[in-house]
Amino acid sequence: METTENANKTLFWVRLTGICSLLVMICALVITINFVSYQPEVKGLLRRFNTVAAELEAGSRELTKTLRSLNDQGLAEMYETLDSIQKIDFERLNESIDSLYRVINPLAGLFSR
């Protein structure tokens, strides 16, 4: 009796395995059919993705050119400003400020009274 019971259990599991295998094959077939039926949409999506990627790359190049141009222009202006600052005669500037103070100080005294 035990062998018949074991044989029945084995037969049950073999049938269950067969049914599961058949279901897996059906699912794989359905997925394959769906993939094939959506293939034109997938190709269109990939083409649009390639177009967007090309546009992003072109935009990136333009942005890089613009940033480099702004950087070069800013550096040139900064160097000009530094040159102008280096050309300032601070000694004469201090003398001029002191002279202006000497002229304005008596005038300020007139208005403060």
pLDDT at residue 105 in the model: 83
Tens digit of each residue's pLDDT, the chain (113 residues): 568 888 889 999 999 999 999 999 999 999 988 888 877 887 888 899 899 999 999 999 999 999 888 888 888 888 888 888 888 888 888 888 888 888 888 887 777 66
This prediction's pTM: 0.41
d(CA 97, CA 15): 106
Distances (CA, A) of 41 to 27, 38, 46: 21, 5, 9
Residue partners of 42: CB distance under 8 A and separation at least 6: 35
pLDDT at residue 53 in the model: 92
pLDDT at residue 57 in the model: 93
Task: Read off the amino acid at residue 113.
Answer: R
pLDDT at residue 113 in the model: 62
